[in-house]
Chain A
Amino acid sequence: MSRPNGQLAIDVQGVHKSYRLGRVTLKVLRGVSLQVERGRFVAVVGASGSGKSTLLHLAGVLDRQDSGTIKINGVDMQSVGAAGRNRIRCRDIGFVFQFYHLMGELNVLENVMLPAMVDSSALGWLHKRRGAKAARARAMDLLEKLGLDDRLKHRPRELSGGERQRVAIARALINDPDVLLADEPTGNLDSKTGRQIMRLLKSFNDAGQTIVMVTHDASLVKECDRVEHLRDGRLNA
């Protein structure tokens, strides 16, 4: 994590993306460009269906653009192979989903540790053991910060919405990513809990975490450094 220093964590240039729905081609993004400097908290606001989530998925290497370039930490994603994309997803990017997407079979601690396990499985045996211990310590630390240290052994279904989203945030942060991408993190929560989550995100940003959040709720964005508006597949600040 680092203070804003002018380096670009995410650099999206003239990205187009369209989906085919049967015979209809839906142009979702039409030449979107977005630069996010390190340490910034950027919000992308737009109505439902404006392409916010698509933009975030492209920035999070979960999807491929039709044209344009996306650079993460200065690396062009077009030039990276499957293994490299997996590694970037694992280490450089943390993703928070609107519907949390926690695994029902795992408890809170295990959900949080999962990305660390995926990461460590790429390393050698010795690293794995060390990695597992370190990951566990880091997960406990994160969950304590998020006020979930008494919920470690609970299953996601036993948690409230706010708690689940906090677990999801902890999971996104476990591998210490360069960028945290949050897709409507409060969209499924009541306004009070939503505000709590926003404060949390802000606190992480204050500690130097680069965050890109998309939301349709303009009232949430006052904590952000910069707000971009996505309309008809184009950004206008």
Chain B
Amino acid sequence: MYKLFLCLRYLRSRIIAYFAMMGVALCVAMLVIVVSVMNGFLEKIETAAKGLFGDIVIEGSGSYGLGRYDEFIAVLKGGEFPLQTQFKAASGDDGTVVFTANARPADMWAMRRGSPDDKRDRKISLPGKATLRADAKKLGELSGRFELSEANELRFLPDSASASLVPQNSGTGLILTDCRVELPPAVAQVEAASPFIFTYGELRIPGQTHYRNPVQIAGIRLPQRAEVSDFEDGLFVQGEQATWTFDPPIALMRKRIEEDRRNIGRILEREIARRNSEGAAGEGPLPERLRNAMYFHDQGLLILQNAERFQKPLRDAVEELRQAEKSGAAEARKEQLEAKLETLVERSGLRPPDQRVILGLGLPGLSFRTEKGETIRILVPGHQVVLYIWPLSGSDDPTRITPNVRRLTIVDDNKSGVSSIDSRMLYLPFDTLQELNNMSATYSAGTPSEIVEPARCSQIHLKVRGQRIGEKRLRKICRDVENLWRDFHEWFPKASRTDVSVQTWRQRQASVVGPIETQRTLVVVMFAVISLVSVVLIFVIFYMIVVQKTKDIGVLKAIGASDGGVAWIFLAYGATIGFLGAILGTIGGILFVHNINPIHDWMAETIGFAPWSRDTFMFDEIPNTVNPSAVIMIVLGAIGAGLLGAMVPSIRAARMQPVEALRYE
């Protein structure tokens, strides 16, 4: 009891103890801040990279890209795999109709590959669907099972519900088309996969001839994109929606633009008030730019308002055209309807859903940032842009590339938080970009059903099951995927022309992640060395305290305190200083990290010192995630330092003979 009592008393009445505590607190705060910012930086890169590419990226090395991606995805993660075989009806032994076909080798491979144990000589039975036709007339959708016998004979057995759709004894006129077999996953860890097209182009704005901006263009599928990345989180219009599309409701777009416009209005008022209070002459450049942005918002709202009126006529025209096509109306009539539809689209002011674009929020000239870091949009949904794409794929003669031009309506914008992406990237519907980039399927001139080159994508992005999967596990999955692709490529030789690489997000970002990881280690080591100063500081302070307390030690021993008891007092003293200092430092460090961006802005404003450059560091904001395990390590380190500093003086105190201590001058 006396030990704790004395320890607390010493703590309470020694100013020097507070100094030691402050020393520890400063060191701890310093480490917490540095490690947090560095970790946050890495984490942001990770999230950004994963947000863009998912966990794993499959990519062909040339400009040809990857073909048969949907088939590959079906084999990879399980799902509907299209069989390239036509089934013909035949009478079964019992008089029922069965569908048989000679299985294509690739289909057999897929079915065998997808079955639980990949054995060549076993009967395979998998569920699936097919469209039943009689002499080109569609009779209905059948579901049932596809069976592959040991002799590689493929059969389709409709289930009892579907069997009633099949006319009995109708002979051999029946065929099955569009057969899809449901495959189990080949690599079970893959949760989702999505094809992705990446290319370059030039962005122009109609009516603004001087605006020409090189951009990177991503072709994505919505809403499936959200399964592999967190693309949807950064969407301006649809961020809070449950599903995402290139055709969001017009009312929603208007609502968001109105909110955004009000927000700009507030910033404008604030800016004018600020300039008035400073007594500055004139309005200055910012209010003018804000007014300009508001003008574009108003324009966007007008366009959308107009488009809203055309929604019903457009729907009707589309329906009319569909009916005409279905009923086999005359070509002239169809052309007339198409022209009408075209006129309506033109008058509505919005391009059809396949001609829409989502901008990256940060494209130069289309938005800007105020000094306080607020992003002001200029071009909002509703406006149109023109995209020039020089297709890199599909042309064997690079000297004769002609651009594909497309007018597109902006429907949304996306902020990934990585400024190098947001300032360059825009997103197009996958199929649209596929066509613009000459990646669509090409067919043989002689036999139009024969595919010369399949439709292709640039990359396939994979999401792996679970959170925070280690690099080692990801690499293992990469190898499995790569092996599967090699296998797949044997049966689908047109799927790629060159080597295909399968990389984890970390491997793709190695040039960025590597140096930062090295930097973090280096900085932590450097700061740990600096923190040694605090150990020395505590040691010196303790030595002083013990020396000052030598007579007390003598008295304690004279009244019967044990060596251990005396050592305990000073060790506990050291540990307490270490602990309290660490707690103080942690609180201070965490508070600092949490407010690092306001502090940075404040510094920039008051003393004009802004060490964080948004361009160099890729992110708009200084990362500020505190890693609990790192903080625990630092706190333990600080307590250890306190103990270490107190150890030598405590042992010296404990070993003293009472008389020696009492005589000490």
Pick the contact of B659: A57, A104, A114 (CB < 8 A): A57
Q: Which residues of B contact A110 (CB under 8 A)?
A: 5, 9
Q: Which residues of A contact B1 (CB under 8 A)?
A: 117, 120-121, 128, 132
B554 near A101 with CB under 8 A, answer yes
Interface segment among A86-94, A186-194, A219-227: the answer is A86-94
B13 near A105 with CB under 8 A, answer yes
- A115–B559 Cα distance when bound, in Å, is 6
The interface of chain B, by Cβ under 8 A from chain A, is 1-3, 5-6, 9-10, 12-13, 551-552, 554-563, 565, 657-659, 662
Q: Write the nearest CB–CB distance from A83 to chain B, whole angstroms.
A: 7
Known contacts A86-B561, A89-B559; 8 further A-B pairs (Cβ under 8 A): A62-B662, A63-B659, A88-B560, A90-B559, A95-B558, A101-B554, A117-B1, A118-B561
A218 within 8 A of B: no
Name B11's closest neighbour in chain A (CB-CB). Answer: A105
Of the A-B pairs whose beta carbons lie under 8 Å apart in the complex, a sample of 8, sorted by A's number, is: A60-B558, A62-B658, A97-B662, A101-B662, A105-B12, A106-B9, A114-B2, A119-B560
- A86–B556 Cα distance when bound, in Å, is 10
A87 near B658 with CB under 8 A, answer no
B662 near A121 with CB under 8 A, answer no
Within 8 A of B (CB), among A44-67: 57, 60, 62-63
Q: Write the nearest CB–CB distance from A96 to chain B, whole angstroms.
A: 10
- A115–B557 Cα distance when bound, in Å, is 10
Q: Which residues of B contact A57 (CB under 8 A)?
A: 658-659
B562 near A83 with CB under 8 A, answer yes
Provided the pairs A89-B559, A121-B1 are in contact, do residues A101 and B13 lie with their beta carbons within 8 angstroms?
A: no
- A114–B1 Cα distance when bound, in Å, is 10
Q: Which residues of B contact A118 (CB under 8 A)?
A: 2, 556, 559-561, 565
The interface of chain A, by Cβ under 8 A from chain B, is 57, 60, 62-63, 82-83, 86-91, 95, 97, 101, 103-106, 110, 114-115, 117-121, 128, 132, 171
A63 near B560 with CB under 8 A, answer no
- A209–B559 Cα distance when bound, in Å, is 18
A63 near B10 with CB under 8 A, answer no
B558 near A62 with CB under 8 A, answer yes
Q: Write the nearest CB–CB distance from B664 to chain A, whole angstroms.
A: 11
- A164–B298 Cα distance when bound, in Å, is 88
- A106–B563 Cα distance when bound, in Å, is 21
Q: Which residues of B contact A60 (CB under 8 A)?
A: 558
Q: Write the nearest CB–CB distance from A17 to chain B, whole angstroms.
A: 11
B10 near A114 with CB under 8 A, answer no
B9 near A90 with CB under 8 A, answer no
Q: Write the nearest CB–CB distance from B17 to chain A, whole angstroms.
A: 11
A121 near B554 with CB under 8 A, answer no
- A118–B563 Cα distance when bound, in Å, is 12
- A97–B559 Cα distance when bound, in Å, is 12
Q: Which residues of B contact A121 (CB under 8 A)?
A: 1-3, 565
Q: Which residues of A contact B9 (CB under 8 A)?
A: 105-106, 110
- A4–B592 Cα distance when bound, in Å, is 73
Most buried by B among A103, A119, A128: A103
- A130–B551 Cα distance when bound, in Å, is 30
Q: Which residues of A contact B5 (CB under 8 A)?
A: 110, 117
Q: Which residues of B contact A101 (CB under 8 A)?
A: 551-552, 554-555, 558, 662
Q: Top 10 closest A-B pairs, CB basis?
A: A90-B560, A117-B2, A115-B559, A89-B560, A62-B658, A63-B659, A105-B9, A101-B555, A105-B13, A86-B560
Q: Write the nearest CB–CB distance from A110 to chain B, whole angstroms.
A: 8
A89 near B558 with CB under 8 A, answer yes
- A4–B138 Cα distance when bound, in Å, is 126
Q: Write the nearest CB–CB distance from B660 to chain A, whole angstroms.
A: 9
Q: Write the nearest CB–CB distance from B561 to chain A, whole angstroms.
A: 5
A63 near B562 with CB under 8 A, answer no
- A87–B563 Cα distance when bound, in Å, is 12
Provided the pairs A63-B657, A106-B9, A121-B2 are in contact, do residues A115 and B560 lie with their beta carbons within 8 angstroms?
A: yes
Name A57's closest neighbour in chain B (CB-CB). Answer: B659
Name A94's closest neighbour in chain B (CB-CB). Answer: B559
- A67–B649 Cα distance when bound, in Å, is 32
